[in-house]
């Protein structure tokens, strides 16, 4: 079966750095997305990785290792507004999005 694993919940301090991990086992791989979802709002696109390595976009970076079936989202200089759920999704061989259950990130002052 297809499986995406990510931690259910993480807590971090304002101004700090946090890394949210995602491991996957899917039938084929055509890329990996990270989405951010604030409570009661739509998931919004954060990043897309299809090749190994690190993609940096401001305070957020996303890393992919296809051989390890592993990705992480790195958030730097955390702000209170970063409190949200972070969803990992893999594009399988049929170009379907396979979703993780999301990681709820709580930022404390």
Partner 1 sequence: ETGVTQTPRHLVMGMTNKKSLKCEQHLGHNAMYWYKQSAKKPLELMFVYNFKEQTENNSVPSRFSPECPNSSHLFLHLHTLQPEDSALYLCASGRGRETAEAFFGQGTRLTVV
Q: Counting contacts by CB under 8 A, is residue 25 touching partner 1?
A: no
Query: Residue 45 or residue 81: which is nearer to partner 1 going by CB?
Result: 45
CA angle 18, 20, 1 (to 5 degrees): 175
Within its chain, how far is the Cα of 98 from the centroid?
A: 13
Choose among 91, 79, 93, 102: nearest CA to 13.
79
Residue 69 binding partner 1, by CB under 8 A = no
> What track of x and - describes contact with partner 1 for positions 35 through 54 (by CB under 8 A)?
-----xxxxxx--x------
Whether 24 and 42 have beta carbons less than 8 Å apart is answered as no
Among positions 20, 87, 105, 107, the unique one binding partner 1 when judged by CB under 8 A: 87
Residue 64 binding partner 1, by CB under 8 A = no
Q: Decide: 10 and 103 in contact? Cβ < 8 Å.
A: yes
Tell whether residue 7 is a contact of partner 1 (CB under 8 A): no
Rule CB under 8 A: which residues touch partner 1? 4, 8, 30-31, 33, 40-45, 48, 87, 89, 91, 95-102
């Amino acid at each position: 079966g297809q499986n995406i694993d990510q931690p259910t919940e993480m807590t971090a301090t304002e101004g700090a750095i946090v890394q949210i991990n995602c491991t996957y086992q899917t039938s084929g791989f055509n890329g990996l997305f990270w989405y951010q979802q604030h409570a009661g709002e739509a998931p919004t696109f954060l990043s897309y990785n299809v090749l190994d390595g690190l993609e940096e976009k401001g305070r957020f970076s996303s890393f992919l290792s296809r051989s390890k079936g592993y990705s992480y989202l790195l958030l730097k200089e955390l702000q209170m507004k970063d409190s949200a759920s972070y969803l990992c999704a893999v594009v399988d061989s049929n170009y379907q999005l396979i979703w993780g259950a999301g990681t709820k990130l709580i930022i404390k002052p």
